[in-house]
Structure 1
Amino acid sequence: MNPRPNPRPTHPNPRPNSRRPSALLLDALLVCVALLDLWVNLDSENHPATAYGLLAALALTLRRHRPLLAFALTLPSALIGDAAFATMAALYTLSSLCRHRTLLIGCALAFATVDFMPWPWTSLDVDELDETYSLVHLTYTLATAAAPVFLGQLVQARRELTLRLAEISEAREQEQLLSAQAVLAKERAQLAREMHDVVSHQVSLIAVTAGALQVGSPDAEARAAGATIRRLSVQTLEELRHMVGVLRASGIRPTELTPQPSLADLHQLIAVSGIETELETDLPDGLPPTLQRAVYRTVQEALTNVRKHAPGATATVRIHHRDGALWTTVANTAATRPALPLPGAHHGLVGLRQRAELLGGTITSGPTTDGGYELRLELPSDDPP
């Protein structure tokens, strides 16, 4: 039975093939050293020793995959001749890959025996044992056999220690990730409570007040404005409820996001914007959903800015597909009423620009000659099928 190398994986290597040339080079170097050892200790008249020495040198090529077989093939060289380097190298490899201590002790004793005893064994003279095979010689032989075993076990222990440290590091990173996720889940739960208790309550009051204005105002324009405010408030409440559900369920179970808007929703967006808007588009069917969402969000942000910064202005939305590009232009006239100071984070255009850059497009914006403002989006787009 041939012991297999340690089945536990060593430290992961992102390029597993990068070590193969160095391993082959090391094997070739060991074979060359074994041949050199054979040449130094070569007895031209001892043909069996030469043959077994060559076999031992070639057996080193099997040491990684069949370490016990490689060691067994190198033993005759140490028994018949004086070339023992191949046997020591094979024993070191076996020790670095094998976990069976009893087998290793047996192999070391076998090597010490064949190295200590003369060949042929019949030439051993018991009367001359004390002179020729002294205690010093025996100690040296045992040390020579034990050194590859101890060195191989040391290398194996170092490899396992490296693996354990890598596992501990991975477990620590996983623990930190779980801790960060727990903190994030706590923050999301707190944010969900704030949105439900504060924001949703205030938007509900806006919807109720707008409904009262829609029903009780004698002015037709005020009733229309109240209806628009109420409709937008109800839509905002629905989106807030869904976002609260997403925040509360995050990390517990997968939650579906609301359906993402497309170009088909532009008419509804313009209808509830409260701005007199002209829409011009000649887009074919089959545009990618990412492009449709980018155009929708651009128009949405532009109309929101018109409501905030140019009250009473009219807008024009032009969307065209030509020359392998998707062009979107939102322009508004000058404001007819002073703008009210409204809170804002000034992140709208930054977010649109980042979205456009991710899709390989650009966004430009600036005032027009008539006192209005224009926002232009260009996105690369192949002709749809």
Structure 2
Amino acid sequence: MSRATSAWQRIPAPVVDVLVVVGAALDAWLNMWDHTRLSVALAAVGCAALAFRRRFPLGVFLLALPIALMQDVAAAVLVALFTLAERSRNRRLLAVCVALPAVVSSTPWSLAEADRTMTLVTFVYSLATAAAPVLFGQLLQARRDLARRLDEIEEAREHERALHAQTVLARERAQLAREMHDVVSHQVSLIAVRAGALQVATKDGNTKEAARTIRSLSVTTLDELRTMVTLLRASGGRDTELTPQPTLADLHKLVESSGTQAELTGELPPAVGTPAQRAVYRTVQEALTNVRKHAPGAAARVELWQDGDAVGVTVTNTAPTRPSLSLPGSQQGLIGLRERADILNGTLETGPTAEGGYRVRLRIPLGGD
């Protein structure tokens, strides 16, 4: 971003609006062919409307369009065109809006045989002039989209790096646990055995007491080592049953920290077992992850429900508001969820919605967990 652009963006929006309106009004006053009451009124309305161009770009453009009848190049029309092109993604609409000022500005010319050439020249000139702000507005729109995509890619890379670091750390912890179990624990066990044998065999009281102390410390150290090995294996992914498993109580935190506009509704009965709670949690986690990855800007709704002797969750998201990124993935998330549902005698249904979104629905029998 250039210094001029950065300095311009620091100017408050009301100040920019005043400058734009005043500049367009001066341009209309100095370049109008005549200053009749109707012409002045149309020019005043079109220039004043520029203050609302950000909220109503198309309406402001239509209000400024009559100024093109009164001068060859109208600054108000060009500003309105630029704002519309900067905010609209409808290429057909922009093409029509480019043609309208050219048609309007060439209308006053007579269609007599002698004036046809001038009419064509005026139309082409006006068409090229109107196309310039539209192309510039589309360029700024593409630049914003590119900057947003770069931010999303960088965020995804940071997430991938964090996951890789966690994987490496888990692998190192698991390796450390194996080393402690296979080497250190074995050596401490031998120390305890030898100390016990010495305590039994010796006749000297001091030696017997020292051997007893060594054996007692060795046994205590061995117990502590086993606890440390268990913890390292759990954090390293080798003993997942000892790690804290998510439950329904963790759903609120999951939804709030999902990075998407998500809402959690409904509740499940207390009779839902731990495996079913984990399945519900993992389903919501995978669905919200997919929403963030494949439907940028979409809103999601997480609904817990009970239907007779079955419980479940439905995660529905709206259509994305901007193009999704082509991010790498294992493509195994939904397959894993279906396998988890099958184990619990449940079902997992996925598919697009009529509104352009996506729905994931998990159903688990109460007796299946």
In the superposition, relative to structure 1, how do residues 57 and 232 fare at CA in structure 2: closer, same or farther (>3 Å)? farther
Provide the rounded CA distance (Å) in 2 between the counterparts of 1:139 and 1:211: 104
Shift of 1:255: 5.8
Shift of 1:136: 2.2
* 1:75 and 2:75 matched: no
Shift of 1:59: 1.7
Q: Give 1:158's aligned residue.
A: 143
Q: Give 1:195's aligned residue.
A: 180
Q: Give 1:116's aligned residue.
A: 106
* Contact 1:74–1:86 under 8 Å retained in 2: yes
* 1:129 and 2:129 matched: no
Q: Give 1:59's aligned residue.
A: 49
Aligned AA for 2:38? P
Provide the rounded CA distance (Å) in 1 between the counterparts of 2:241 and 2:27: 67
In the superposition, relative to structure 1, how do residues 229 and 21 fare at CA in structure 2: closer, same or farther (>3 Å)? farther
Provide the rounded CA distance (Å) in 1 between the counterparts of 2:188 and 2:233: 20
- SS at 2:63 equivalent: helix
* 1:242 and 2:232 matched: no
Aligned AA for 2:56? R
Q: Which of the residues 10, 20, 25 maps onto 1:30?
A: 20
Shift of 1:81: 5.2
Shift of 1:66: 2.0
In the superposition, relative to structure 1, how do residues 165 and 223 fare at CA in structure 2: closer, same or farther (>3 Å)? same
Structure 1 unmatched ranges of 5 or more = 1-10, 12-17, 258-385
* Contact 1:207–1:234 under 8 Å retained in 2: yes
- SS at 1:38 equivalent: helix
Shift of 1:181: 3.0
Provide the rounded CA distance (Å) in 2 between the counterparts of 1:67 and 1:251: 56
In the superposition, relative to structure 1, how do residues 201 and 39 fare at CA in structure 2: closer, same or farther (>3 Å)? same
In the superposition, relative to structure 1, how do residues 197 and 71 fare at CA in structure 2: closer, same or farther (>3 Å)? same
Matched-pair identity in %: 51
Shift of 1:196: 0.8
Normalising by structure 1, report the TM-score: 0.54
Structure 2 unmatched ranges of 5 or more = 2-7, 245-369
Shift of 1:65: 2.2
Shift of 1:91: 0.9
Q: Give the alignment of 1:115-264 within 5 angstroms.
A: 115-118=105-108, 124-130=110-116, 132-133=118-119, 135-250=120-235, 252=237
Tell me which structure has the larger Cα radius of gyration: 1
Aligned AA for 1:173? E
Q: Give 1:378's aligned residue.
A: none
| Structure 1, 76-85 or 184-193: larger mean CA deviation | 76-85
For these two proteins, the number of residue pairs brought into alignment is: 236
Q: Which of the residues 75, 84, 104 maps onto 1:85?
A: 75
Shift of 1:38: 2.1
Provide the rounded CA distance (Å) in 1 between the counterparts of 2:11 and 2:202: 87
* Contact 1:37–1:83 under 8 Å retained in 2: no
RMSD: 3.0
Shift of 1:180: 3.1
Shift of 1:42: 4.8
